[in-house]
Structure 1
């Protein structure tokens, strides 16, 4: 495996111009695969372009937010032969063509306007063409010939192929819209998506080779037939899925030197196929064997790559780091460290989704009644109506099997399928009924008291995204759309360690120089309340060798470690001293009260958060910094705490320079603060129901001044 890869993540995308392909994975559809350092995950099937685009954008955003550099390779032409862009847009910039198509392409799950648009473009050129291949069997399109052999085709002044198409054996023309290898249709239906990605990620994204590949996100065109047939054998039974796996693996395994060689091509307006001419580098870089590493594909657990050794390193600059800058750094530089499990939805409460969940079935799957009553074909105009009652009824779980005749009504119960021949339900309290007829008053609009099929969720839609911690309500949502097994993150194992010779366990005998360890019980409860698996690491004395042994053992049992005490720069601050030997140490002097020093680093690859020893400062720093950081390490989305603006019920004059967090509670709708700001008053944490956050700038607070209140219940 290559360890100096040019990109942290490679996402391979096999695009399609076809209609919605249904829920079951199929050939000639859209497939994606993500790989890091030559290790692929399972390829993902996308039933239509709308689902695929959302997934691609989400994946890029997640990787970017985790601080990973991303290369996205598309088996899709990024440009046309020289002269096309100028004729179409008035500029030779191929990216202007992307925007031109994005403004004009109309696309839905089952229909699009690509053939009509191609005909309109052809009308702008002399002769016949350049596009050809009308794929509509019974509908001619003005200016769009069905084949290239159509009489008179040509005279439009453009070459059929780009230089890179000519150099890539077997490549198709981007002007070909139908038949085997419909490259042209894929391009028309793909460029709008590329344009939206560019707009969405702005300056963080570049398009190779038209722009230097120096940004955090790089889009590139490739050709998923560059490598010989057979290399993707056994990767997946569906060839498209196997190819995305192969190419994601190969490009992610390239070293910086080899990738630089692949990228070293002229910035032609026609573009270029990434990897063309460098196939030997791709083959040499691939691990052996190439295989997905998730549960369903190989039987092994999918383990994310370790955090970078410099993930906690702050940029050089100010001596004191503002709270928001510290939080922003954590959000950008941390990423999931947990593996994945496949479990049944019934046991998934509190677990974090590792992959988006796609609805296996629409909900409701069939139009059904919202009330007990009678079903008929609406609407009904104003006035009195008398309808014959058709024999039978429709009930939940026992739908009516026949068709209700026009002008008749059928008895129906809440939740029952709307019978064929009907579309409207009248509430039973609004009718007078006999055994054979019902009477009611109009008007009643068509569709009244009837739920539409799929009005809640539609089969194939993304129901819940990756990174979401599942609530009981989420489980109901997943079950309702037919979800059985889901892929979740393994629980983050968080070790909690107290340090200091002066500490003793609560309930033990102590002398005058000793205190009870208040932090460990508090932080273990925090970890459990945040949905992680707490690991009690006990207490460590002020002995560097002993602490080193404890941390080394803890790294084999934990995914992250919280320590309290020893996190500053004094003689007995052994946590900081040991982390400084790893090359990953960062002592953050944060402009915050209480708290300030945070010691961070990696011990045998496991992130360590060194919290202050004072219980109040330890709790505040745990809530503000450890809570969102651990969520990301666990695979969840970044989770800022819940907050509310409330009137102050206190007075305080605060100087500028640092954020202050005051223990507070709400009384009569206003925030009251604990009488003492002393961080040694542990009982103030029990008295409080949350924190008031005062801004970095100076502020004079008087009763009624708006302040920010963070309830403790929001940290969960």
Structure 2
């Protein structure tokens, strides 16, 4: 029997990050950056107006008070409007003393101007404009380099890219980024008895509850899933499927087909192909599992029982996918919680108990088990955590504290 620790260590040792690729910006969401991004130039490249209005010199319109009630406002100023400056202006125009330039929001600030008066404080004149209340230096002006300064490091290698990161990359003119792409995971479910959900079951048939669940778990972990199957227990057919899928997989995930004797389909097929090792892993729920490589592609074989497959996915597969995607944080967040109800745990096995965790960091957490002896799939569906009981613990008492893996957000 192999310990959970040894199985996880073997899986993570083989879970190398997917080789970086240059990817178009729109396809980088959720990927991990494989380079450091610096700004090639200032953004904005020159001082710009932040509103529609009139670029002026404050000495020509009077100094506005610090606050609306901060003192008497200067008298209205009347200035000739000598030019229009649209946002598409190639370069700043020059402001003549005693005049104003009509500017659009985002337009370069004219040379000589030190403020922009918004339209609301003017009569919106075109040939000449009445400015009310004066202005203050720098008012409604965004300075060159305000958003991005030339040479500034914008994104560090290892950043998981979201909308705000892509925005700053686009601002710096980057159309593509070098990222670790999402691992491609082929999910194969095995068993003559499996029927795709939505299709009629014959006698002895069961709906495939694992395939869609594992594919969803793969997507939640930040990888790309391709479902294949259900595939029957015919060994030649399964071998053909596996060989076909290896060419497009960064990881092959197989569920079901593990048993003893004549029903051990997956072992018979995988054993001659690579380095896959099969062990009873010392965990519950869980069972016999396989891990190794075939043609340098990591292969994990999980139990066919949905509860055991889902728990094994959380313990072994999800951290591996996070590592392959380049993430630094591989594991679910964990909290320690006080047990509300006692139960017995099997000796020598690490137990993962579907549970509900409630509380807060300030008040502390409690954990209530949903399944203890024979965990049902409905227990897993209602859980928001997995309570973890160590191999040396056989009795969990009310009030004991356990580490709990928090599922979901």
Shift of 1:624: 3.5
CA distance in 2, matches of 1:410, 1:433: 12
- Give the corresponding residue for 2:303: 612
SS in 2 for 1:526: helix
Shift of 1:337: 4.3
CA distance in 1, matches of 2:9, 2:99: 65
Whether the 8 Å contact between 2:121 and 2:131 is mirrored in structure 1 is no
Structure 2: 5+ residue stretches without partners: none
Shift of 1:421: 2.4
Which of 169, 183, 199 does residue 478 from structure 1 map onto? Answer: 169
- Give the corresponding residue for 1:550: 241
CA distance in 2, matches of 1:373, 1:706: 63
Which of 330, 334, 337 does residue 640 from structure 1 map onto? Answer: 330
SS in 1 for 2:308: helix
CA distance in 1, matches of 2:336, 2:172: 40
CA distance in 1, matches of 2:49, 2:266: 64
Which structure has more strand as a fraction of its residues? 2
Q: Does 1:368 align with 2:48?
A: yes
- Give the corresponding residue for 2:3: 320
Bigger CA drift: 635-644 or 661-670?
A: 661-670
CA distance in 1, matches of 2:52, 2:312: 56
Distance 1:421 1:339, change over 3 A: closer
Which structure has more helix as a fraction of its residues? 1
Shift of 1:542: 4.3
| Residue deviations 1:672-714 (CA, integer Å, cap 9, x gap) | 75633466522334334x32444648665559x79746242x4
SS in 1 for 2:88: coil
Q: Does 1:681 align with 2:372?
A: no
Whether the 8 Å contact between 2:18 and 2:326 is mirrored in structure 1 is no
- Give the corresponding residue for 1:108: none
Task: Compute the TM-score of the two structures, normalised by the length of structure 2.
Answer: 0.72
| Residue deviations 1:366-400 (CA, integer Å, cap 9, x gap) | 33344455555679576544566462454533478
Q: Does 1:438 align with 2:134?
A: no
Whether the 8 Å contact between 1:394 and 1:400 is mirrored in structure 2 is no
SS in 2 for 1:440: coil
Whether the 8 Å contact between 1:374 and 1:426 is mirrored in structure 2 is yes
Whether the 8 Å contact between 1:646 and 1:708 is mirrored in structure 2 is yes
CA distance in 2, matches of 1:648, 1:427: 60
Shift of 1:615: 0.7
CA distance in 2, matches of 1:642, 1:481: 34
CA distance in 1, matches of 2:141, 2:129: 23
SS in 2 for 1:676: coil
Whether the 8 Å contact between 2:281 and 2:289 is mirrored in structure 1 is yes
Bigger CA drift: 412-421 or 423-432?
A: 423-432
Task: Compute the TM-score of the two structures, normalised by the length of structure 1.
Answer: 0.45
| Residue deviations 1:615-657 (CA, integer Å, cap 9, x gap) | 1221122234222312433x43244355375977943457697
Structure 1: 5+ residue stretches without partners: 1-317
SS in 1 for 2:286: coil
Q: Does 1:663 align with 2:354?
A: yes
Shift of 1:601: 0.7
Whether the 8 Å contact between 2:252 and 2:299 is mirrored in structure 1 is yes
Q: Does 1:510 align with 2:202?
A: yes
Which of 236, 249, 252 does residue 561 from structure 1 map onto? Answer: 252
- Give the corresponding residue for 1:710: 406
- Kindly report the root-mean-square deviation, in angstroms, between the aligned alpha carbons of the 2 structures: 4.5
Whether the 8 Å contact between 1:579 and 1:600 is mirrored in structure 2 is no
- Give the corresponding residue for 1:161: none
| Residue deviations 1:457-514 (CA, integer Å, cap 9, x gap) | 33454544556554344433332221224445565332111223443444333324x4
